Each structure stands twice: as C-alpha cells, then as structure tokens.
Amino acid sequence: MRVVVLVKQVPDTWSPKRLRPGDFLLDRAAADGVVNELDTYAVEEALRIKEKHDDTTVIALTMGPPPAVEVVRKALQMGADEGVHVVDDALAGSDAMVSSLVLAAAIERIGFDLVITGVESTDARMGVLPAMLAERLGAAQATLAAEVKVDGREISVRRLAGGREFDVVAPLPAVVSVVEKINEPRYPSFKGIMAAKSKPLTTLSAADLGLDSNRVGLAGSATEVVAAEERSAERARVVIHDEGDAAARIVEFLASRKLL
Amino acid sequence: MHVERELPSEEARELLEVVADLARRELLPRAADDEAAGRFPREIFRLLGEVGLLGLPYPAEYGGGAQPAVVYEQVLEELSRAWLTVGLGLSVHLLACYPLATFGTTEQKSRWLPEMIGGRTLGAYSLSEPDAGSDAAALRTRAEFDGAHYRLRGTKAWTTHGGHADFYTVLARTADDPDHGISCFLVPGNAEGLRFAPPEHKMGLRASPTAGISFDDVELEPERRIGAEGEGLRIALAALDVGRLGIAACATGLAQAALDAAVEYAGERWQFGHRIREFQGVGFLLADMAAAVASARATYLAAARAADTGRRITRDAAIAKLVCTDTAMRVTTNAVQILGGAGYVEDHPVERYFREAKALQIVEGTNQIQRVVIARQIAGADAATI
Ligand SMILES: Cc1cc2nc3c(=O)[nH]c(=O)nc-3n(C[C@H](O)[C@H](O)[C@H](O)COP(=O)(O)OP(=O)(O)OC[C@H]3O[C@@H](n4cnc5c(N)ncnc54)[C@H](O)[C@@H]3O)c2cc1C
C-alpha cells in the first residue's frame, strides 16, 4: 500500500504573522518556518498504518519554497520512507484551488492508495484542501477522522464533525484528513534522524508535473487579495461566553498571551 | 532567549532541535507542579528513551548513539533549562552506565549494556554513605565473596533515583586495603535484600527522588563485578569525571533558565515610568548574568572537547563543575533579586531555580572537593586519593 502524507511548512505558530505589503502574500521570511503541527498527526497516523500493514510505503509530500524541505525531512525523521518536495518559483502565491491541482498531480505521479492530511494548516486555515484533492484524484474522501482503520481495500473512518461522530466506510483509494484527537505524534528519535539522511528525497518542478507556469502560482489563482489591514487592538478583543467552562478558557487565553 | 550552539554535525543540530521542542512541550508545562508535589516523572525518561537520549554517548553496536560529549552535554543543558530534575536524572543515568560501558568485558557489555542504554530502563549510581560523603574512599558497604557469589551488606545514602531505578552501579568494599579495597558492582533494582529508605525531603529537586539504600545480604553472581577486584575506586573516580561534566552542563542550563526569566521580567516590569531593565543597576546585573552563563557554557564545552579527544579530564571536569555550579548559584540568586518580591514567591520559577542551584554545588563532590581536586592536579600530585 502506498500512503502519501501531506506536510506543510508554516510560520511558527508562536510568532506573529504578517502579510507582505503590495501582494498581500504571507511574509514567510518574517517568522521561522515550522512543520504545520496538525500535519504531524497525519504523519503519525500514516506510520501507525505502516506498522500494522506490511508492504506499506509512506511518502511525505510538500509543496513550498526551498526551506520547506525541512518539513519533509522531519517526516522522514519520524519514520516516513520517502520524501517529495514540489518546489518552483512559479508556484508562489498559489491559492487552495491551484495548490490542490499541483498536489494532485504530484500524488498521481507518486502513486497512492491512501492520502492523509491534517485538518488544516495553521497559516491559511481554510481546511478545504483534502476535499479538493479527493475530487481531483477521483478518490473517496473522509475528512475530520478521529480514527482510521484499513482493512484490505477498504477504509473505515470515525469522523468527528459538528460535535458528532459518524462512522463511514469507503473503498481505497481515499483521502483522509485527521483531527488532533486521533493520536499522539512521536518525536523523531536520534536513530530516525540518522536514518533520514539516506532516505530518497525527490524534488519536482511544475514542469515535471506537466503544469504550465500560467496555470499555477499567482497567475493561475482565482483568488486575489485586494486589500488587507492590520488587526487593531480593539478588534482583537475576545469575548468568552460561559458554557460552563469559562474559567478554564479564560486561564487558557491568559496563558496563551503569557499573562499567567 | 535563543542560545547559539556549537555543534559538530547536521544530525547533532537536528537532535538539539528535537530536544528543545520536547523540553518546551513535555517538560516546561509540568515542571513547577511536579516539583511542588514531589512527583518523579518516570514516564518522561521513557520518552527520552524512545528518542534515544538514554544511550547517546555509548557505542552504536550496543544500541547507543555514539555521540561526542560536545553533543550530549548540550542535550543535558537543554533539558535542565526546562527542568533540572530531568537533566540531572539523565546525567545520573549516563553516569551509572559509564563503568560497565568503559570497564566491562565484551561479555558483560553484550549481556547488560543494550538494555541499560536502550531507553526502557533507568540507572542509579550509589557511592555515598552516611559516613562516607566527601571522603568516599571511607565507604563501608561490604561485598563478601562466598566462593560462588558476592554478598552485599551495608548502607548507602543519597542515591538519586533510589527506589525507582532498574539498576544500580554500586561501590562496595571487598578488602580493607586503603588503595585497592573497593570494587564496582552492577546490582539489579529487583535484587532480593535491597531495601530503600523513604525519599529525602529536600530543599529543591523534590521531583527527583534521593534515597538511602540498605543491602541486606544481596546476592550477586560474580559476573556482576565490573573491573577487577580492588579497581572500584579508580572506576568510580573516572566515572565522576564524566558525571561532574554532566553536572556542569545541567548547571549551565539552570543558569540560562534563570537568566531568561530575569530578562523577560525586567522587560515587562515598570517602575518610576520605566521598564526596570532600563535602570543601569538592573541592566548591568543582567549583563553580568549573561556573561557568566556564556563563560560557564564555554568552560564546560572546553572540558567536553577535551573528553572527546579521549584524554583524562579530571582537572577540566572539576573546573567545569566548580565554575558552572557557582555560576548557577550566583545567577539564580540575582534572578530572584531582579524579580523583587515576585522572585520570592512560587508564582515565578526563579525561587525554585535558586533552591535547585544549591544542590549542584554539593552533588558529585562539593565545590570544596572540586577545589581540592584542582589544587592537587595543578600540584601534579596523584588525585586518586580523593
Ligand atoms: C540532591 C542530592 C543527590 C545526590 N545524589 C547522589 C547519588 O546519586 N549518588 C551518590 O553516591 N551520592 C549522591 N549524593 C551525595 C553527594 O555526593 C554528597 O552529599 C557529597 O559528596 C557530599 O558529601 P556529604 O553530604 O557527606 O558532606 P560532607 O562530606 O560531610 O561535607 C560537609 C562539608 O565539609 C566540607 N568538606 C569535607 N571534606 C573537606 C575537605 N577535605 N576540604 C574542604 N572541605 C571539606 C564539604 O565541602 C561540605 O561543605 C547526592 C546528594 C544530594 C544532596
């Protein structure tokens, strides 16, 4: 079985994010790049599936500027078998539609039975990519998975949506996005760090995927950010409505701003 | 504050990133609570084991990471910066593995080392006794050979991880000879006749259990003696060189944590219409603290580099232990001062750092004893008598 797991580099969640003046793209140079935390659950789930099923290959895939290769390396250190980095200047500014086009092309080229992603990335926070991918790949989609089981050519997923649980079954190939509840991601071990050095890591350009540069990046994107303004202190006001857990949420809020 | 690290390889840099990430997520959030409750975080050591930290210095053929001191000492520093109990505990574990890894036979190493450094088990090092502290050579715990087995009888004091460890590296007397009367043993934690006193109630490091042990006719197969009979003191002192270097790294991490807390507070606390760091009296204190931490780091790294050349580092390790732990004491004391009243209460970690620093001036040879060792070394005398 070939399991492709998607990983993305995002600005460190602990540092403030900024849009670049002019094109309003995320200023990736302004903060340290880290792996999108939600993706580490996807990597962990892929590795657990591999541990349960012989003959499984886990391929970590990212699309992003050159430094983004770090997140593929991290997935390899955790235990993924191979890495693929789609990198091309022409890809800068790709919106979700274009990203899904590029990633679907890469996934098809890699070959897959199962694609696992996080629920969303902590920078853009759209959460639409898994569904778009499934559509483009003609695969079943089971998003927001809190539990995944693979049995032969079938996958059973417990979805956690709108505060309720749904059990769904789908044939492979499928695209699954996983929620944080699903597992506890492992830390890379020193042996994993050493082993990652000799694992195959492929770099692909838009052309390698047969994609014309005018179909990708800012040029190919339907989304255009025309204006942005800095959030004022006033707008940043947070109102916590008591649903029985207000005290805990206030503490959490204060702690997140290091006021406790 | 970001610490610029000197690391010899890409994998070492990546490892330190994992360690810093783990420290931030797993250690920092619970250190204060567990210290207040005196709860030993055994499962944290399992996690360190999974990452491979419990065997980092030891040979790859036995499952270790084969990393130089320059790397694993910085791992100790990074862990101690988040929680001294964990950094110190790892240092003690590595110390407990050292005699077997260094002086054991191939058979002994194949039999025990993989499990000891494999991550699931934790070690302790038992040298001190109620009447043999600084004068460790005066120890009285006996190991009598009855023709088939050694039988251990006596009382040890102050053993870090006592009652929790899976194995104990124990120094015991096999003869009255003052120079060659002590031997080194590897005692399983579940050996019959091993009894642990309730843990000490300490000023700090309360999550790190420290306990007396009584050996009530503990039977050991002769294969569990490490090195020749009578070689124990030499082994113990060689191990202490490594242990002292570890304490130096831990102390540097603790001092860094205190500096970080003081810098943060001084940037946020306003008095007389200014952030307090803008007062020269505070700024200079912070500058001195930063200079002291950087010097401590440079000192222990110099000793680590010396260790990596394979030469004996008795003097270097004693100097590093002395410099780094005295630095930790001074920097944590000044951190309390910079926080003022806030530094004296448990809402901030600096009063805990201050209490923890004191232990580091005492363990693995008090700082008076480090001076004795250094003085002997520079006089060219044989240091093996202390
Ligand atoms: C938290 C903690 C953890 C410990 N963990 C371990 C462990 O895991 N394993 C273990 O074996 N031991 C451990 N110890 C014991 C530690 O190594 C001893 O406490 C230390 O060696 C000092 O011995 P002592 O307490 O008997 O003090 P003493 O030797 O009685 O010293 C008392 C004072 O006299 C001074 N002094 C003694 N001799 C001289 C001299 N020749 N010149 C000048 N001054 C001198 C000392 O510096 C000290 O100030 C631990 C201790 C603590 C506090």
- Tell me if residue B73 falls in helix, strand or coil: helix
Using H for helix, E for strand and C for coil, what is the string for A77-116? Answer: HHCCCEEEEECCHHHCCCCHHHHHHHHHHHHHHHCCCEEE
**What are φ and ψ of residue A241, in 5° steps?**
-90, 135
pLDDT for A32 equals 78
User: How many beta-carbon pairs under 8 angstroms link A with B?
Assistant: 33
Ligand 1 close to Cβ of residue B256 (< 6 A): no
ipTM of the complex: 0.91
By the 8 A CB rule, do B157 and B178 touch?
Answer: no
- Give per-residue pLDDT as tens, B314-363: 999 999 999 999 999 999 999 999 999 999 999 999 999 999 999 999 99
Ligand 1 close to Cβ of residue B359 (< 6 A): yes
Residues of A in contact with B65 (CB under 8 A): 190-191
Q: Is residue A172 part of a domain?
A: yes
In angstroms, the CA B204 to CA B258 distance is 15
pLDDT for A223 equals 80
pLDDT > 50? residue A211: yes
Crossing angle of helices A69-78/B10-22, nearest 10°?
Answer: 80
Q: Quote the longest CA-to-CA distance of chain A.
A: 55
pLDDT > 70? residue B384: no
User: Is B133 exposed, middle or buried (CB count within 10 Å of its CB: 0-12, 13-18, 19+)?
Assistant: middle
Crossing angle of helices B232-268/B69-82, nearest 10°?
Answer: 50
Domains within chain B, CATH numbers bracketed: 10-117 (1.10.540.10), 123-230 (2.40.110.10), 234-378 (1.20.140.10)
Which residue of chain A has the CA closest to B29? A255
List residues of B with catalytic annotation: 364
Tell if the CB–CB gap between A188 and B18 is shorter than 8 Å: yes
pLDDT > 70? residue A234: no
Q: Is residue A9 part of a domain?
A: yes
**What are φ and ψ of residue A20, in 5° steps?**
-75, 140
Q: How far is the CA of B204 from the centre of ligand 1 (A)?
A: 16
- Give per-residue pLDDT as tens, B106-140: 999 999 999 999 999 999 999 999 999 999 999 99
- Give per-residue pLDDT as tens, B17-34: 999 999 999 999 999 999
Q: How far is CA B105 from CA B114, B143, B145, in A?
A: 14, 20, 20
Q: Is residue A98 part of a domain?
A: yes
pLDDT for B383 equals 47
- Give per-residue pLDDT as tens, A54-80: 999 999 999 999 999 999 999 999 999
Summarize the confidence of residues A182-201 as an average pLDDT.
Answer: 96
Any chain B CB within 8 A of the CB of A254?
no
**CATH number reported for the structural domain that contains residue A23 in this entry:** 3.40.50.620
pLDDT confidence of A50, banded at 50, 70, 90? Answer: very high
Mean pLDDT of chain A: 88
Nearest-CB residue to B51 (from A73, A187, A194): A187
Any chain A CB within 8 A of the CB of B174?
no
pLDDT for A236 equals 65
In angstroms, the CA B68 to CA B58 distance is 9
pLDDT confidence of B382, banded at 50, 70, 90? Answer: low
Tell if the CB–CB gap between B52 and A186 is shorter than 8 Å: no
Crossing angle of helices B69-82/B10-22, nearest 10°?
Answer: 20
pLDDT > 70? residue B100: yes
Q: How far is the CA of B364 from the centre of ligand 1 (A)?
A: 7
Q: Name the residue range of residue A79's domain.
A: 2-220
In angstroms, the CA B122 to CA A16 distance is 41
Interface probe with A: pick from B21, B46, B51, B71, most Cβ of A within 10 Å:
B51
Which residue of chain B has the CA closest to A70? B14
Any chain A CB within 8 A of the CB of B27?
no
pLDDT for A110 equals 95
Give the H or E element holding residue B102. Answer: helix B84-103
Q: Please give the full DSSP string across A212-241, using - where no structure is assigned.
A: -GGGSHHHH-S-------PPPTTTT-----
| AA letter at B210 | T
By the 8 A CB rule, do A72 and A85 touch?
Answer: yes
What percent of chain A shows pLDDT beyond 70?
95
pLDDT confidence of B381, banded at 50, 70, 90? Answer: low
Comparison of pLDDT for A46 and A221, the residue scoring more:
A46
By the 8 A CB rule, do B293 and B81 touch?
Answer: no
- Give per-residue pLDDT as tens, A170-190: 999 999 999 999 999 999 999
Summarize the confidence of residues B215-244 as an average pLDDT.
Answer: 97
pLDDT confidence of A14, banded at 50, 70, 90? Answer: low
- Give per-residue pLDDT as tens, B50-99: 999 999 999 999 999 999 999 999 999 999 999 999 999 999 999 999 99
Ligand 1, atom 31: closest residue by C-alpha = B134
pLDDT > 70? residue A233: no
Instruction: Please tell me the total count of domains within chain A.
Output: 1
Ligand 1 close to Cβ of residue B169 (< 6 A): no
Sequence-distant (≥ 6) Cβ neighbours of residue B32 within 8 angstroms: B346, B349, B352
Tokens (6 digits) for A32: 């340290």
User: What global pTM score does this model have?
Assistant: 0.90
pLDDT for B386 equals 46
- Give per-residue pLDDT as tens, B275-321: 999 999 999 999 999 999 999 999 999 999 999 999 999 999 999 99
Residues of B in contact with A190 (CB under 8 A): 11, 15, 51-53, 56, 65, 67
Q: Are strands A154-161 and A140-151 parallel, antiparallel or unpaired?
A: antiparallel
pLDDT for B286 equals 98
Q: How far is CA A70 from CA A17, A60, A66, B40, in A?
A: 20, 11, 9, 35
Q: In angstroms, what is the C-alpha Rg of chain A?
A: 19
Any chain A CB within 8 A of the CB of B100?
no
pLDDT for A163 equals 85
